[in-house]
């Protein structure tokens, strides 16, 4: 071999090896009861702390982690196809916390370059955190690779959480707000896999959560979760391509079955990723059996492909006699393809109980009907009506049960279909939230001064508004209880009962408790 070529190969190899980071776990500091993490070493130190590694003992409660800067563990992890760009030996692997229930504050920072691989049966569950619960806010995960390569291992795989409850305890839910995940999550085993969590056996609450990349499994693959109990999604988006080589694939949830104990709600949310499965595939829920679900002001624009039980929003639906699946003011515009002749019906692939359906003002593309005699669910309209403003007008005119069509927008001639105020959200970023004298502040870029939210009895008062600011109050099922546009500096809104509500001002939300 030419000496120059040999030398070049050696140099390239040495560069690749030199790029592998060296990690020495370091005990993070603590401030106001929250462990402060700002470096790769401190991130690995926090994992060691949670896992009880010798030398990382503490008398403090391990209930909070706060990022103080961006953290890049490995560089250029994924190639254009979402696969590892280099051999695994060139990356430092992440050792996930085994079980963490607490708060993670991202402060708008990014964790990138995590490589999480369990092909040696080391972990019971796989993810940034193996299992647990709590809250996570204002955090970006980017260039992440999660893989379970052993088909004989039976556990759960998720981009952020493997499972959101542990040791049989189902009381720990997860609340994610202003969180995004970009990466690849895959498994070789026939177990649930999701971009956020593999299996959630408690409540999963998502507000302004975004998933992109690729989710792949032999069965039960979901953009957000592979198998679900309660799910509440508000203004959340899946753009990940979801592939189940077997049954059950969904842009949000692959599989939900719970003897009417499972409740799911999707409000102002959308699936833009392609979904591919063998049976029971859809833009939102692949399969729901004896579960309750509502889809309000939401849409699917991803392409869906499966053999049987394929729908724009829900694949297969099995329920009782009362309305268990409610779809209002929503649509599907993605291309739907199937390789069999059974069960293709527009927004819903198949239902065991039509009396358990409540569909209002929801649409799909007439051109994709399997045949003219097929039974279908939803309103079939031509593709041209999605782009010429006809569908937009129908959506905006809808108002029922606190569900209003005012959230829809479209740039006719540019947008191929209506969207959910996406321009407003992009131009109105969060700049600050907090409290003052025990009262809640909501600040956005378009508010000159922060909005102050207080409560008195069953009234929620918002002050510090400017004329034209939009405001709304949601319950935790995603229903809009009150909304409007400010004409003065303050407004008082009554809620129907005590409880926890989401107050939204110009695209920024805060959780408020009314006692």
Domains and CATH numbers, the chain: 18-236 (2.160.20), 246-426 (no CATH), 430-514 (2.60.40.10)
Burial class (CB in 10 A: 0-12, 13-18, 19+), 251: buried
Per the listing, tokens 């390789």 go with 339
Q: Look at the chain and count its residues.
A: 515
- Which element (helix H / strand E) includes 105? strand 100-112
SS3 state at 260: coil
Contact 46, 65 (CB under 8 A): yes
Q: Exposed e or buried b for every residue in 45-78, given b needs 16+ CB within 10 A? A: bbbbbbeeeeebeeeeebebbbbbeebebbeebb
Q: For 4-8, 337-341, 408-412, 485-489, which range has the lowest pLDDT when averaged over its residues?
A: 4-8
> Does residue 303 surpass a pLDDT of 90?
yes
Joined together, the tokens standing for residue 168 give: 């049989």
pLDDT given for residue 7 in this prediction:
39
Beta-strand runs (E) in 149-240: 157-158, 161-163, 174-187, 193-194, 197-200, 204-217, 221-222, 225-228, 231-234, 237-238
Least confident of 33-37, 438-442, 503-507: 438-442
Cα–Cα distance between 128 and 95 in angstroms, integer?
A: 8
pLDDT surpasses 90 at 65:
yes
The pLDDT confidence band at residue 499, using thresholds 50, 70 and 90, is confident
How distant is the alpha carbon of residue 195 from its chain centre?
Answer: 7
Tokens 């060139």 sit at which residue?
90
Are 254 and 192 a contacting pair, CB within 8 Å? yes
Residue bearing the bigger pLDDT, 499 or 281:
281
pLDDT of 230 higher than 50:
yes
Burial of 310 (0-12, 13-18, 19+ CB in 10 A): buried
Q: What is the pLDDT of residue 423?
A: 40
* pLDDT for residue 259 is more than 70: no
**Whose CA is closest to 114, among 132, 149, 138, 88?**
88
- Structural tokens at position 100: 């963490």
Q: How is residue 412 annotated by DSSP?
A: B
Q: What is the mean pLDDT of residues 471-475?
A: 82
* Tokens 């009880």 -> residue: 52
Radius of gyration (Cα) for the chain, nearest Å? 24
Choice between 278 and 370, residue whose per-residue pLDDT is larger = 278
Residue 425 pLDDT more than 90? no
Flag whether pLDDT at 355 surpasses 70: no
Residue given tokens 């819903």 in the structure block: 348
Higher pLDDT, 138 or 343: 138
How many other C-beta atoms are found inside a 10 Å radius of the C-beta of residue 273? 27
Average pLDDT over residues 43-61: 92
What is the pTM assigned to this prediction? 0.78
For residue 512 the two structure tokens come to: 């408020």
pLDDT at 18 over 60: no
- Per the DSSP assignment, residues forming a β-bridge with 37 are 67
Tokens 């069953």 found at: 458
Nearest Cα to Cα of residue 504 among 430, 395, 418 = 430
pLDDT at 344: 59
Name residue, tokens 């009861």: 33
Note whether 86 and 57 are within 8 A (CB).
no
Range in 3-17, 60-74, 192-206, 237-251 with the lowest mean pLDDT: 3-17
Tokens 């893989």 sit on residue: 147
Query: What are 114-140's pLDDT values in tens digits?
Result: 999 886 566 678 999 998 889 999 999
pLDDT (mean) for 417-439: 53
Q: How confident is the model at residue 424 (pLDDT cuts 50, 70, 90)?
A: very low
CA–CA separation, 430 vs 443, rounded Å? 7
> Cα separation of 208 and 33, whole Å?
27
Q: What is the mean pLDDT of residues 236-250?
A: 95
Q: Which of 70-79, 349-358, 380-389, 454-463 has the lowest mean pLDDT?
A: 349-358
Q: In the prediction, which pLDDT does 400 show? A: 86
CA distance 347 to 326: 12
CA distances in angstroms from 491 to 94, 403, 464, listed in the order given: 48, 20, 9
pLDDT higher at 514 or 383: 383
The residue-averaged pLDDT of 240-264 equals 88
Residues 315, 286: contact at Cβ < 8 Å? yes
Q: What is the pLDDT of residue 512?
A: 75
Among 183-197, 305-319, 432-446, name the one with the lowest average pLDDT: 432-446
In the predicted structure, residue 403 carries a pLDDT above the cut 70? yes
Higher pLDDT, 220 or 431: 220
**Which of 222-226, 321-325, 499-503 has the lowest average pLDDT?**
321-325
In the predicted model, is pLDDT for residue 172 greater than 80? Answer: no
pLDDT at 478: 61
Q: Give me 397's structure tokens.
A: 């005119």
Decide: helix, strand or coil at residue 171. Answer: coil
Tell me the per-residue pLDDT of 178-215, one tens digit each, with 9 for 90 and over: 999 999 999 888 889 999 999 988 889 999 999 999 99
């Amino acid at each position: 071999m030419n000496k120059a070529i040999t030398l070049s190969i050696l140099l390239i190899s040495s560069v690749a090896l030199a790029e592998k980071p060296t990690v020495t776990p370091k005990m993070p500091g603590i401030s106001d009861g929250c462990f402060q993490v700002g470096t790769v070493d401190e991130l690995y130190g926090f994992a060691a702390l949670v896992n009880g590694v010798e030398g990382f003992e503490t008398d403090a409660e391990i209930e909070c982690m706060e990022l103080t800067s961006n953290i890049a563990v490995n560089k250029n992890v994924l190639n254009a196809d979402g696969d590892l760009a280099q051999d695994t030996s060139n990356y430092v692997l992440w050792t996930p916390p085994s079980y963490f229930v607490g708060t993670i504050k991202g402060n708008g920072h990014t964790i990138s370059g995590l490589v999480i691989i369990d092909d040696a049966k080391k972990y019971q569950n796989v993810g940034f955190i193996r299992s647990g619960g709590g809250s996570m806010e204002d955090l970006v995960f980017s260039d992440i690779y999660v893989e379970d390569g052993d088909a004989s291992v039976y556990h759960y795989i998720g981009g952020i959480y493997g499972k959101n409850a542990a040791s049989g305890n189902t009381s720990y839910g997860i609340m994610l707000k202003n969180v995004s995940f970009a990466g690849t999550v895959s498994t070789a085993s026939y177990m649930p896999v999701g971009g956020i969590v593999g299996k959630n056996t408690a409540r999963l609450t998502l507000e302004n959560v975004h998933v992109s990349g690729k989710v792949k499994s032999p069965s039960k693959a979901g953009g957000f979760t592979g198998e679900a109990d309660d799910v509440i999604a508000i203004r959340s988006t899946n753009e990940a391509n979801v592939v189940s080589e077997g049954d059950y694939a969904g842009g949000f949830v692959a599989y939900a079955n719970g003897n009417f104990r499972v409740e799911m709600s999707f409000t102002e949310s959308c699936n833009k990723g392609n979904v591919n499965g063998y049976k029971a595939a859809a833009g939102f829920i692949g399969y729901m059996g004896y579960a309750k679900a509502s889809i309000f002001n939401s849409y699917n624009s991803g392409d869906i492909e499966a053999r049987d039980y394929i729908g724009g929003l829900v694949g297969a639906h099995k329920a009782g006699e009362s309305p268990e699946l409610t779809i209002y003011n929503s649509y599907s515009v993605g291309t739907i393809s199937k390789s069999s002749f059974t069960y293709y019906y527009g927004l819903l692939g198949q239902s065991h109980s039509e009396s358990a359906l409540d569909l209002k003002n929801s649409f799909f593309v007439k051109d994709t009907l399997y045949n003219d005699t097929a039974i279908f669910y939803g309103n079939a309209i031509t593709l041209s009506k999605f782009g010429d403003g006809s569908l937009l007008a129908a959506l905006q005119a809808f108002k029922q049960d606190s569900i209003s069509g005012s959230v829809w927008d479209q740039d006719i001639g540019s947008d191929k279909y209506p969207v959910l105020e996406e321009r407003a959200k992009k131009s109105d970023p969060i700049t600050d939230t907090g409290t003052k004298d025990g009262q809640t502040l909501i600040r956005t870029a378009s508010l000159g001064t922060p909005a102050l939210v207080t409560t008195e009895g069953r009234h929620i008062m918002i002050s510090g508004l400017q004329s034209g600011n939009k405001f709304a109050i949601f319950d935790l099922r995603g229903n809009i209880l009150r909304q409007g546009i400010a004409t003065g500096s303050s407004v008082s809104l009554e809620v129907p009962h005590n409880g926890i509500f989401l107050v939204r001002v110009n695209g920024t939300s805060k959780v408020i408790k009314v006692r």
